[in-house]
Amino acid sequence: MDLSLTEEQQALVGMVREFANREVRPLAAELDREAKFPKQLVERMAELGLLGIEVPPEYDGSGLDPLSYVLAMEEVSTACASTGVIMSVNNSLVCDPLVKFANDEQKQEWLAPLARGDKLGCFMLSEPNAGSDAAAQKTRAVRDGDSYVINGVKNWITNGPQADTGILLCMTEPEKGHRGITAFVIDMHAEGVERGPKDDKLGIRGSHTCQIFFTDHRVPMSQRLGEEGHGFKVAMATLDCGRIGIAAQALGIGRAAFEAAAEYANDRKTFGKRIIDHQAIAFMLADMEVELEAARMLTYRAANLKQKGVRHTKASAMAKLYASEMANKVAKNAIQVFGGNGYVTEYPVERHFRDAKITEIYEGTSEIQRIVIASSLVRR
């Protein structure tokens, strides 16, 4: 695998890093403290082409490759993990399935506004009783003439309070299990779609989630994404890409914690010397950097396989598993390097620690990633 970045990728990193440092980082603590959605940053990401990074230009996207998406996600998430996940949901959980499964008419109508950032998207798979067991869908879509009537509840929907457009997975034929699930694209402002209050969360507090309630919500056939009964595959293929995005978000969180710890260790003195001159601290920092780089390699590899058009289910699971566990470990150790200062909100590492946790949970818990990885080892 060639690890060198193209000139275009280097330019993208420069542009996004400047945006992240100048505009995103200064707001991150306030967004977290006040659980405030960064509307103005989302608008700026739209202007910079960061909301439809891999969408082809004919549908108003930036037409870049999967590694560019990873690079941009890491930069934004280093500054603010909340802003990172808002971006990742729009790119990989909403634009990506539309690129792959929508017909041309659907792409013009639904994908292009999302890629331009005129609209924001959400992905509605999880339910109160269908989290890890994604096939246990209770939300029903019942065929009625040439439309479907949808009833049910979706849970923990990232961007739910703000979304204009949603990808919905629900049951059309319950007796068929996962083969009875169908995907739809939803106008989130339409009749019969309501949002619950936003969830009060441990971390990524600037990114809002809520329940979505469907009550006799009617959608025409033209809003079905792919064939009836193919929804589970739409969901799984979408998550194969989404997990690369979350791995990149974890890289950003891990890098932010590592960089803060390394800087602090160069300033803080104990026993007459900088704490980085104590081997206990220096070795901790060395391990953090190694694990960060190893996670980056796994994430680049998954993006590289996606670029080649080969199935990358396992590579994405490996990247997400390792990167999310790395981010948690690095953030925990960064607090240790900061000591008492790491435990107070005056310094950013407690936020990184809280933000890191969700990367081990959403888009498939670490246990689900291990199931996906281990399933390829089972002799059939």
Of 186 and 288, nearer to ligand CAA (C-beta) is 186
Of 25 and 233, nearer to ligand CAA (C-beta) is 233
Of 86 and 298, nearer to ligand CAA (C-beta) is 86
Q: Which two tokens stand for residue 47?
A: 């202007």
Q: Which two tokens stand for residue 375?
A: 């399933």
Q: Choosing from 54, 74, 363, 367, which is the catalytic residue?
A: 363
Distance CA 122, CA 109 (A): 16
Q: Which two tokens stand for residue 60?
A: 């108003």
Of 4 and 376, nearer to ligand CAA (C-beta) is 376
Interacting residues toward ligand CAA by CB under 6 A? 89, 93, 123, 125-126, 132, 134-135, 156, 158, 178-179, 232-233, 236-237, 239-240, 313, 362-364, 368, 371-372
Q: How far is the CB of 170 from ligand CAA (least distance, A)?
A: 14
Q: 92, 50 in Cβ contact below 8 A?
A: no
Count of positions (residues) in the chain? 380
* Residue 363 appears among annotated catalytic residues: yes
Distance CA 37, CA 202 (A): 15
Q: How far is the CB of 272 from ligand CAA (least distance, A)?
A: 47
Name every residue whose Cβ is closer than 8 Å to that of residue 112 and which is 6 or more positions away in sequence.
59, 60
The β-bridge partners of 37 are none
Q: How far is the CB of 105 from ligand CAA (least distance, A)?
A: 24
Least Cα distance to 235 among 123, 330, 342 occurs for 123
Side chain identity, residue 232: F
Q: How far is the CB of 89 from ligand CAA (least distance, A)?
A: 5
The β-bridge partners of 100 are none
- Kindly tell me the sign of the dihedral angle through the C-alpha atoms of 75, 80, 83, 84: positive
Of 18 and 367, nearer to ligand CAA (C-beta) is 367
Q: How far is the CB of 265 from ligand CAA (least distance, A)?
A: 33
Q: 257, 305 in Cβ contact below 8 A?
A: no
- As a whole number of angstroms, the longest Cα–Cα distance in the chain is 80
- Give the three-class secondary structure for 134: coil
- Which positions are catalytic? 363
